[in-house]
Structures are given as C-alpha cells and as structure tokens.
Amino acid sequence: MTARYEGKSFEPAGIKSWPEDDRPREKLLRRGEHMLSDAELLAILLRTGSRGRTAVDVAREILGRFGTFRNMSQTDGRQWRKIKGLGNAKLAQIKAALEIGRRFREMEIRRDGAKISGAEDVVRIFAPRLRDLKKEVFQAIFLDARNRVIEWVEISEGTVSQVIPIIREILHRALQYFAVSLICLHNHPSGNVQPSREDEAFTRSLSQAAGLLQLRLLDHVIIGGDRFYSFAQQGTIV
C-alpha cells in the first residue's frame, strides 16, 4: 500500500533496500541455494514484484494459492492470471524452471539405468510426471535383460482406445532399442485407477503381440493421483 505525507506518495521499500544478506539472490550466492525458502527461490525467478509488492511478496502469494511446486506444474493457466503482477514473461520463467527440474530427473534415470523390480519402482520413478495431468498420457518403458531402463517414450495424448496404433509404435520402438521386456503405463485424470474394459483389452493385445516378437510385457500400470493399479500385481498379465 502506498503511503502519503504532505502531498507526496512513497512506495514501500523494495528488496534492494533490504540488508544484503537477506536479499534472495545475494543470499543464494553467498550461502547456497539450499539455504533459501521456497518463496525466496521463486522470487529469484520472478526478479521483480508488482506495484507496492516485492518479488518475495508475489512468490508468497503464489505459494499460498498453489501450496507446492508440484501443484504449480499442472495448474490451469487461468488460475495464474488471478495473481496480480504475474504476466506472461514471469509465468513462462516459472513453467520453464519446473520443466527443467523434471527433465533433470529424467536425465538421471537415463544415465543411471534405473532398475525396475516391481510396480512400486515404476510409480516412484514415473508417477511424478503423470499423476497430476489433466489429460490422459501413455508411456512405454523399455528394459534390458537385467530390468534396467533403456529408454521410455511418451505418446502425448494417446489413449488405450487407440489400440492398434499404440501397439504398433510401442513394438517398433522396443525393437529399435533392442529391449528384452517392456512396461506400459498411463494416467487416469479422474483419479480412479480401476482399469476400464479398453485397458484390459489393450493389455491382452499388447502382451500377445509382444510375445510374437519374443518380447515380454512385464506390467501395465495405471496412475491416478497418489494411487496406482498394477496388472502384474493382480495377476492379469497373460
């Protein structure tokens, strides 16, 4: 809020007027990024605030509205428009930073060749990207003889109602990567992880088609929020 005195207006002091050790950017450079709060990290991305508010103030409002970085990553753009002082440029910076974080994690998985021992490993590694999406996304994970991840592919808006095209693409990619086995997974935006008839028919068809190429379908995992369903755990992989 702008203060007035003897006909003059004064804007509240900005971050530049803070003690140097309290400024987010200087604090990061001197003490390390791990010493900053979520609001301070977000303020560095924002760079500037809005009239009468610092970047930290805006960051706190964002965190107050969305709660966590996870929630921010999959929130409808209309919710962001309600935050005063947050234009397209700042929103793009935040979205880009969140995506960099996800891709960094994916690069670690590719580099280290994460081993998959069961559905819990699939969920731990791959659920963070799928569980909050508002559209159905399909992925296939390709494994070597030791069940280590070789690669995975994402069919951006694929659904199991498109059975034949998805199966063809999955098996083509599996042969390209010289995979020994594979796992498929997709999300249910509704949060209901029970498989539909289409899910069940797709799993049977993929398992049979993979077997003809001497590939093994280890599992089909459905993710919904923080819950999951595993065909392998239910004993329904043919």
Counting the structural domains of the chain, the total is 2
Mean pLDDT calculated for residue range 45-72: 83
The CA distance from 68 to 75, in Å, is: 11
Residue 7: its pLDDT value, please? 46
**Same domain (yes/no): 13, 93:** yes
**Same domain (yes/no): 89, 172:** no
Residue 165: its pLDDT value, please? 62
Residue 94: its pLDDT value, please? 85
Mean pLDDT calculated for residue range 106-113: 63
Alpha-helical runs (H) found in 131-230: 163-176, 197-212
**Same domain (yes/no): 45, 86:** yes
Categorize the per-residue pLDDT at 3 as very low, low, confident or very high, splitting at 50, 70 and 90. very low
Under 8 Å between Cβ of 122 and 219: yes
Chosen domain end from 77, 105, 133: 105
Alpha-helical runs (H) found in 74-196: 77-80, 88-112, 119-130, 163-176
- DSSP character for 20? G
Chosen domain end from 60, 76, 105: 105
For position 190, which CATH number holds?
3.40.140.10
| 8, pLDDT greater than 50 | no
Residue percentage of the chain with pLDDT more than 70: 82
The CA distance from 23 to 28, in Å, is: 9
Residue 10: its pLDDT value, please? 38
| 11, pLDDT greater than 50 | no
Who contacts 169 (Cβ-Cβ below 8 Å, separation ≥6)? 153, 155
Give the pair of three-digit tokens for residue 3. 């203060």
Whether residue 198 lies inside any domain: the answer is: yes
**Same domain (yes/no): 78, 11:** yes
Residue 174: its pLDDT value, please? 94
Classified as helix, coil or strand, 124 is helix
Whether residue 64 lies inside any domain: the answer is: yes
The CA distance from 132 to 188, in Å, is: 9
**Same domain (yes/no): 161, 223:** yes
Under 8 Å between Cβ of 181 and 143: yes
Residue 225: its pLDDT value, please? 84
| 110, pLDDT greater than 70 | no
Q: Give tens-digit pLDDT for 167-208.
A: 888 999 999 999 999 999 999 988 899 999 989 999 999 999
**Same domain (yes/no): 216, 130:** yes
**Same domain (yes/no): 145, 82:** no
Residue 175: its pLDDT value, please? 94
Q: Containing domain of residue 78, as a range?
A: 3-105
Who contacts 41 (Cβ-Cβ below 8 Å, separation ≥6)? 24, 28, 33
Whether residue 34 lies inside any domain: the answer is: yes
**Same domain (yes/no): 51, 131:** no
**Same domain (yes/no): 127, 90:** no
Residue percentage of the chain with pLDDT more than 90: 28
**Same domain (yes/no): 99, 150:** no
Whether residue 17 lies inside any domain: the answer is: yes
The CA distance from 18 to 7, in Å, is: 26
Residue for token pair 């819990």: 120
What amino acid occupies position 196? S
What amino acid occupies position 112? D
**Same domain (yes/no): 118, 48:** no
Whether residue 236 lies inside any domain: the answer is: no
Whether residue 83 lies inside any domain: the answer is: yes
Chosen domain end from 80, 105, 130: 105
- The strand pairing partners of 183, in sequence order, are 141, 219
| pTM listed for this prediction | 0.63
- The strand pairing partners of 177, in sequence order, are none
Q: What value does the mean pLDDT of the chain take?
A: 81
| 106, pLDDT greater than 70 | no
Residue 158: its pLDDT value, please? 56
Whether residue 237 lies inside any domain: the answer is: no
Whether residue 20 lies inside any domain: the answer is: yes
**Same domain (yes/no): 121, 220:** yes
